[in-house]
Structure 1
Amino acid sequence: MRRIEGQVRGLQRMVDEDKYCIDILTQVSAATRALQSVALGLLSDHLAHCVAQAVAEGGPAADEKIREATAAIARLVRS
């Protein structure tokens, strides 16, 4: 996350310094990929721990965790 924070600060500096648009867009793309990587890692952990535990326990909590995970995946796919 600190690396991403640094990338975003660098983007702000590039904009403030009126750098070449394509260079800024390249850095936006890199920051976006980094955030997507974090999101995928969080989703993987959530599935492996929270969802797996809820499914093992069964009941309505399991259904809710699966709905939450499905919604999160859909948001990631749309972004």
Structure 2
Amino acid sequence: MYKPPTPRHEHPVTARQVRLDHHDSVRSHVHQQVITEVERLERRIEVLRLANAPHVAVMISAYERMVDRKKGFLRNWDLTTSRF
């Protein structure tokens, strides 16, 4: 019997309070989402700095590039924390 594969990392379903017809609501939601992602990546970087494993430097470098790109996105779209 066929059993469809289940995703490895399922995110919990949460009710979103984003009103797509309101520009500020969408901007606020995107801002919060990107800030959360940056915080997670920065925590991963800190954990990796304490790890003694092969290729840690490569992983840290990749995460740092991701953080830089996300922060650049926030700057380019004027989604700085002072507005929200």
TM-score, structure 1 normalization: 0.56
Root-mean-square deviation over aligned CA pairs: 2.4
Q: Which amino acid aligns with 2:48?
A: H
Aligned to 2:66: 75
Q: Which has the higher helix share?
A: 1
Instruction: Report % sequence identity.
Output: 10
Q: Runs of 5+ in structure 1 lacking a partner?
A: 55-60
Q: Which amino acid aligns with 1:10?
A: Q
Count of matched residue pairs = 60
Q: Could you list the runs of 4 or more consecutive aligned residues of structure 1 that deviate by over 2 angstroms after TM superposition?
A: none
Superposed, 1:1-79 pairs within 5 Å as: 6=14, 9-11=16-18, 14-15=19-20, 18=21, 20-49=22-51, 53-54=52-53, 61=54, 64-79=55-70
The structure with higher relative contact order (CA 8 Å, sep 6+) is 2
TM-score, structure 2 normalization: 0.53
Give the superposition deviation at 1:6.
Answer: 3.9
Q: Residues of 2 paired with 1:26 and 1:41: CA distance?
A: 23
Q: Runs of 5+ in structure 2 lacking a partner?
A: 1-10, 71-84
